[in-house]
């Protein structure tokens, strides 16, 4: 069992939960990423992808971080180095172990909204992403710089 000091107990007594709002504006073009919460070794984001849109950087793996994606609206099609996986639909999720190479796309016709939970064994600023060939993917890839986010002004996932 982990040793807990009196200072630890006092700090724990001062902690409070945080209520998160998943309301998300749907996009017609592009994608959005909104950080909901960041824990000590975890992040929680709501991602929204336009129809026929996926991640810009293709197959990649996060070598320090595992992910869980929960589909809140729409359908996600995931691919791995082994091929295409069955579609992940509303109220379903997929666990991506750290280092697993994957990509996903929204096959349309609706916006895809996912809750992305990332966790690591230690605190990291940004997870290192690699292609299956071992090349690093720096920052946020801009493979499609001509795409601008276009939102549906009166359409939200609520």
- In our burial notation (b when 16+ CB lie closer than 10 A, e otherwise), range 54-64 reads bbeeeebbbeb
Integer CA distances (angstroms), 1 to 4, 9, 13, 116, 156, in order = 9, 15, 19, 31, 45
The pLDDT, as a whole number, for residue 111 is 93
Structural domains in the chain, sorted by start: 25-157 (2.60.120.10)
Mean pLDDT of 66-74: 97
Residue-wise pLDDT tens digits, 5-57: 999 999 999 999 999 999 999 998 999 999 999 999 999 999 999 999 887 77
> Of 79-83, 92-96, 145-149, where does mean pLDDT reach its minimum?
145-149
- pLDDT, tens digit (0-9, with 9 covering 90-100), for 115-142: 999 999 888 776 788 999 999 987 654 4
What integer pLDDT is reported at residue 144 of this predicted model? 41
| Residue among 119, 81, 114 at smallest CA distance from 98 | 119
DSSP letter string over the chain? Answer: -----HHHHHHHHH---------EEEEEESEEEEEEEE-SSEEEEEEEE-TT-B-TT-SBEESS-EEEEEEEESEEEEEETTEEPPPEETT-EEEE-TT--EEEE--SSS-EEEEEEEE-SS--SS--EE-TTS-B--SS--S-TT---EEEEEEEE-
Residue 77 pLDDT grade (very low, low, confident, very high; cuts 50, 70, 90)? very high
């Amino acid at each position: 069992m982990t040793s807990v000091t009196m200072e630890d107990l006092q700090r724990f007594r001062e902690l409070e939960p945080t209520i998160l709002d998943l309301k998300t504006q749907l996009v017609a073009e592009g994608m959005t990423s909104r950080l909901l919460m960041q824990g000590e070794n975890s992040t929680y984001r709501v991602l929204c992808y336009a129809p026929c849109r996926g991640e810009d950087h293709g197959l990649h793996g996060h070598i320090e971080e595992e992910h869980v994606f929960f589909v809140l609206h729409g359908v996600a099609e995931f691919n791995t180095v082994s091929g295409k996986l069955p579609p992940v639909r509303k109220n379903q999720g997929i666990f991506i172990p750290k280092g697993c190479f994957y990509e996903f796309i929204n096959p349309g016709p609706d916006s895809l909204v996912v809750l992305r939970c990332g966790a690591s064994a230690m605190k990291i600023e940004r997870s290192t992403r690699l292609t299956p060939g071992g090349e690093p993917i720096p920052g946020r890839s801009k493979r499609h710089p001509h795409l601008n986010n276009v939102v549906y002004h009166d359409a939200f996932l609520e």
